A = this chain, B = another copy of it.
């Protein structure tokens, strides 16, 4: 599901790190998968029990503090050098956009085929560039605040239809970015176990509620947006500065208990139905890496309102994202029978009604302070077709029509042993494709 016809040159000028022909000396898997030399996402890996800031390259990683200690990274400011020694990416996120770009250039130089570093002694190379399976991914940042938006317009329409058949989209939707605050204490890294929550539900509307394990456990396919430069309370970030306040992107699964949600959500929104777990992918794919894969904002119809001025900068509404997204399901029975995971949905980040810059400008427009390490979810991203929906709520039409899997099993909602995998991939003619990695989780009842 490509929206390549919509793609446009990015705000950020492209540079040598985006050249399609560039290759790394690191021999690490066919084509380096999601993480070729043009990507260089940052993450945090626990290595020998200690969290370290790393960059992914193919199936390897660059241990940035080790690279720094071996004088393998040039042109960094003292603040950048200090950030590499931290146990999380918060200090890196607090750097200026120019400092983050300079680090990208330094890592690119270290890894590119013509690098001087490639000719250094093997023990030095091996201390700096290590197989990724020597570490264990942990959360990239201490998340101060987590905000979940609702910017996927098809999801908002589909979900709204279950509650309000006559008015799926509320009157405010196309005017104001809808979002709500989420829970940062239960955001965990991809792969973390998914415990089915208990909660108060009311299965029959004429009977009292009961407390039981959720029977409507669902996933939500979202993008993660990592926030960099913060703003003091009372000082909004204007549209034209908004992109520099974004550190990068990832994948997010906003696990949801639909039966708990239906009973608790009025009038103040979802609460326990969402805060038992949200899972993020380990890698922060930087704004720089994403530059070739930006797209025009989602097209407005003739009857649709234009964004208010505070949601339009000199570059208009800012740029959207062209990221092909996919979610697969593998059940216990499928794995036992050696069946491949089954694709539930293919969609694209282009179905976001608001651009990342608009989400950020809106969030701060009333003076709300953002801090480096804050996280946004975009909201569930669904396309228009039945095979492009970002949640089981939509795929099963509100739990009414079961999916039949290749194993012959049926699913309305998730069962014990079910494993969800969300992936994201960026392709554009003339550029090396990159990926966002994986956001996965298995349900343990």
Contacts and interface: CB of A to CB of B under 8 A. Distances in A.
Interface in A330-368: 362-363, 365-368
A53 to B, nearest CB: 22
Contacts of A271: 178-181
A164 to B, nearest CB: 9
Most buried by B among A178, A200, A308: A200
Given A176-B263, A276-B233, A145 B185 contact: yes
A153 interface: no
A119 B175 CA distance: 69
Given A172-B263, A366-B199, A367-B195, A211 B308 contact: yes
A369 B211 contact: no
Contacts of A265: 267
Contacts of A233: 185-186, 188, 195, 276-277
A41 B402 CA distance: 57
Contacts of A97: none
Contacts of A366: 197-199, 257, 260, 272-273, 275-276
Contacts of A163: 267
A370 interface: yes
A150 B266 CA distance: 11
Contact of A371 (B172, B185, B367): B185
Contact of A210 (B275, B308, B368): B308
Nearest to A364: B272
Most buried by B among A144, A182, A367: A367
A184 interface: yes
A135 to B, nearest CB: 22
A160 interface: yes
A275 B185 contact: no
Interface string A146-166: 000010000000001001000
A269 interface: yes
A208 interface: yes
Interface of A: 144-145, 150, 160, 163, 170, 172, 175-176, 178-186, 188, 195, 197-200, 202, 208-211, 233-234, 236, 257, 260, 263-273, 275-277, 305, 308-310, 362-363, 365-371, 374
Given A175-B200, A186-B233, 9 more contacts: A144-B184, A172-B202, A172-B264, A176-B263, A180-B268, A180-B271, A181-B275, A195-B367, A197-B366
12 contacts: A145-B183, A172-B263, A179-B268, A180-B269, A180-B271, A184-B184, A198-B310, A210-B308, A211-B309, A267-B269, A268-B270, A272-B365
